Chain A
Amino acid sequence: MVAGSWRYVWAYVFVCAVMLYLYVPIAVTVLFSFANSPRLSLPIEGLTLDWYSRALDNPLIVTALRNTALLAAISAVGGCLMGTAFAFGVLKLRQERTRRVLLGLGLLPAVVPLLVIGVALAVFFRTLGSKPGLFNAAVGHVLISLPFVVLTLNARLETFDFSVLEAARDLGATPGRAFLDITLPLIRTSVIGAGLLAAALSLDEFVVTWFNVGTELTAPVLIWGLMRRGVDPSINALATMLLAALLVLILAATMTSRRAPQ
């Protein structure tokens, strides 16, 4: 073999190692969620869906999943409404500098540590006298999804031809009518994509939720609680369900944004 081929072999080995590092823990969790032995050890003797039915029989897990779904929906809708309005508002500003600064501030929470956001929100709600619970958690979820919605919508609006809106207004459409007839259909796929992304972010959010949700349960909070009492295989089932929901959301988000009109 010539020297060049050996270089390729090493490259393959390295890529494989990274892939294993990235995916083995996830694969193991998914695998064990179908394993019929209660102990987490290899080799697996047989496959079963028992852990899933057991998880879904557990009222705590069902409540947690329902709350998680609710928060994801609120994040999607709330994040989209606020994020889209913000992206539009910023774009309409005449001053280039103000626009850049405001856009930057809108995106900043994406890099603020979640711990800081979580604690800050908890303190803020306490000052307001709002009891920890799903509402507070929902506010947190919308907050952390917003920068991503703003980023997605801003990217779409930067290529948006505003003269089509002027054309609609010129042809007799009121501002509201022009929005419904022209703007909305043209940005719809981006809005849906951003909403799915917001839902995906909310689905496995733990830090901000933990500080604000109080005694209510969401799937990540419940998993954390259960893990403290040892690893029950139904946790694997719950985690796998979360993973599946996330994959679906991310795939859907990617596909809608790819279908967006240019």
Chain B
Amino acid sequence: MIPAVEVLDVGKSFGPFVALDSVNLVVHQNEFVSLLGASGCGKTTLLRIIAGFESPTRGQVKIAGEDVTAQPPHTRPTNIVFQRGALFPHMSVRENIGYSLKLRKWPKARIDEQVDRMLALVRLDGFGDRDPQKLSGGQVQRVALARALACEPRVLLLDEPMSALDLKLRQQMQLELRALQRRLGATFIFVTHDQTEALVMSDRIAVMNGGRVAQFATPRDIYRSPSSVFVSDFIGQTSLIPCEIVAAANGIAALRIASGAIVQASMARGLPVGAKAVLSVRPESVRLSAMTATLPEAALTGDIRDVIYLGPSTRVSVAIHPSLLVWAELRDEEAVGLSPGVKVSVSWAPEAALVIEEGAPS
């Protein structure tokens, strides 16, 4: 099958500032892809290049196999949902949604029919004659979505469409958007700086950093097997511990950390013994237990620094070395008896921790 969108070696500079540095990205048809990164990472620039609002300094953009690099936005089979909706304030909701169809010279009756379908799709039946300025933030974004979907674009681009909404509404819209994409069987490219949003909605996530794609993979792979320290740090909470590889076998490595303790973790890429690396361990994989006298010397121990109650869980930081903190996320009953200053032993299942090459490209 022809990919929905191909971004081939695209670069973009604004004067001396490099916004995108050789980006390659192939999005399949009917796929929900998120471009995730902090502000300034180039995610919005990439989206605008796909939409046609910016032209790349080099590289090529193909949509459904056709090279559209030189095409202006109005001839591209993409539509965009803007951050703040960008509804036409002088038109009714109905006129907003029907605008692209009017430009395509659809007959009036067919436009009305399609607009009604779109209103139903975003669950705004009966809102057609409203003035966009009298809509709530969530309704504005739904109308913007309906307007962008009305002419059935091959690819829908979404530029942080929920960043202005409050948390509850955002969570609800995330699920709706995901369900909508499944139902329509359309290709969505979604820009966000919110990792939870990206994890909830995406088939695949492109984590971006400094104008490059750091990793492009499924949410599970991004979370479980980050390809670099940057990705590991950016997605979710993690403790990053500098270490040195002392032995390796069957994908499990033994590592020495600064305190002298030997710990184990899984190693996807075969690094040589003696190599410096970074150990990434997620808080939910860390177990803490009160110190017993029978621990081997190389076991990992530390003093509890902070205990933070989060409701469903409790987050505990342990100083395993004067400058090294490991975070653990525990269920309530596991956290009983833990308070700042208590000595604990720290452990995790080797397959739940990951060794990442220190200089891996971010």
Binding between chains A and B: yes
* B167 partner residues in chain A, CB cutoff 8 A: none
Q: Is A242 an interface residue (CB 8 A)?
A: no
Q: Is B151 an interface residue (CB 8 A)?
A: yes
Q: Which of A164, A169, A186 contacts B72 (CB 8 A)?
A: A169
A-B complex: 3 closest residue pairs judged by Cβ atoms: A171-B100, A163-B86, A167-B86
* B151 partner residues in chain A, CB cutoff 8 A: 171-172
* B53 partner residues in chain A, CB cutoff 8 A: 166, 169-170
Q: Are A169 and B73 in contact (CB under 8 A)?
A: yes
Given contacts A166-B53, A166-B73, A167-B80, contact A172 B86 (CB under 8 A): no
Q: Is B99 an interface residue (CB 8 A)?
A: yes
Q: Are A177 and B89 in contact (CB under 8 A)?
A: no
* A177 partner residues in chain B, CB cutoff 8 A: 103
Q: Which of B79, B87, B104 contacts A170 (CB 8 A)?
A: B79
Q: Are B99 and A171 in contact (CB under 8 A)?
A: yes
User: Taking the nearest CB of chain B, how far is it from the CB of A174, in angstroms?
Assistant: 6
Q: Is B51 an interface residue (CB 8 A)?
A: yes
User: Which of A163, A167, A181 gathers most chain B CB within 10 Å?
Assistant: A167
Q: Could you give, for residues 67-99 of chain A, a 1 whenever the CB lies within 8 Å of some chain B CB and a 0 otherwise?
A: 000000000000000000000000000000000
Q: Could you give, for residues 127-158 of chain B, a 1 whenever the CB lies within 8 Å of some chain A CB and a 0 otherwise?
A: 00000000000000000100110010000000
Given contacts A171-B100, A173-B103, contact A185 B90 (CB under 8 A): yes
* A30 partner residues in chain B, CB cutoff 8 A: none
A-B pairs with beta carbons under 8 A, tally: 64
Q: Is A252 an interface residue (CB 8 A)?
A: no
* B86 partner residues in chain A, CB cutoff 8 A: 161, 163-164, 166-167
Q: Is B234 an interface residue (CB 8 A)?
A: no
Q: Is A182 an interface residue (CB 8 A)?
A: yes
Starting from the known contacts A166-B82, A167-B80, A170-B74, 7 additional A-B residue pairs (CB-CB under 8 Å) come to: A167-B82, A170-B73, A172-B75, A172-B104, A173-B99, A181-B88, A261-B89
Q: Which of B78, B88, B104 contacts A167 (CB 8 A)?
A: B88
* B104 partner residues in chain A, CB cutoff 8 A: 172
A261 nearest in chain B by CB position: B89
Q: Which of A167, A170, A171, A261 contacts B90 (CB 8 A)?
A: A261
Given contacts A173-B74, A174-B74, A177-B103, contact A168 B80 (CB under 8 A): no
The size bracket of the interface on A is 10 to 19
User: Taking the nearest CB of chain B, how far is it from the CB of A169, in angstroms?
Assistant: 5
Q: Is B287 an interface residue (CB 8 A)?
A: no
Complex Cα spacing A177 to B104, Å: 12
A167 nearest in chain B by CB position: B86
Q: Are A164 and B74 in contact (CB under 8 A)?
A: no
Q: Which residues of A contact B (CB under 8 A)?
A: 161, 163-164, 166-174, 177, 181-182, 185-186, 261
User: Taking the nearest CB of chain A, how far is it from the CB of B112, in angstroms?
Assistant: 17
* B103 partner residues in chain A, CB cutoff 8 A: 171-173, 177
B14 nearest in chain A by CB position: A94
A–B complex contacts, Cβ < 8 Å, 24 sampled: A161-B84, A164-B86, A164-B87, A164-B89, A166-B73, A166-B80, A166-B82, A167-B86, A167-B87, A167-B88, A167-B147, A169-B74, A170-B53, A170-B73, A170-B74, A170-B148, A171-B74, A171-B147, A171-B151, A172-B74, A172-B100, A181-B88, A181-B99, A186-B89
* B78 partner residues in chain A, CB cutoff 8 A: 170
* A172 partner residues in chain B, CB cutoff 8 A: 74-75, 100, 103-104, 151
User: Taking the nearest CB of chain A, how far is it from the CB of B145, in angstroms?
Assistant: 12
B79 nearest in chain A by CB position: A170
A177 nearest in chain B by CB position: B103
User: Taking the nearest CB of chain A, how far is it from the CB of B48, in angstroms?
Assistant: 9
A166 nearest in chain B by CB position: B53
User: Taking the nearest CB of chain B, how far is it from the CB of A156, in angstroms?
Assistant: 13
Complex Cα spacing A36 to B148, Å: 71
Complex Cα spacing A171 to B74, Å: 6
* A182 partner residues in chain B, CB cutoff 8 A: 88
* A169 partner residues in chain B, CB cutoff 8 A: 53, 72-74
User: Which of B72, B73, B78 gathers most chain A CB within 10 Å?
Assistant: B73
* B90 partner residues in chain A, CB cutoff 8 A: 185-186, 261
Complex Cα spacing A187 to B87, Å: 16
* B88 partner residues in chain A, CB cutoff 8 A: 164, 167-168, 181-182
Q: Are B99 and A168 in contact (CB under 8 A)?
A: yes
User: Taking the nearest CB of chain A, how far is it from the CB of B152, in angstroms?
Assistant: 12
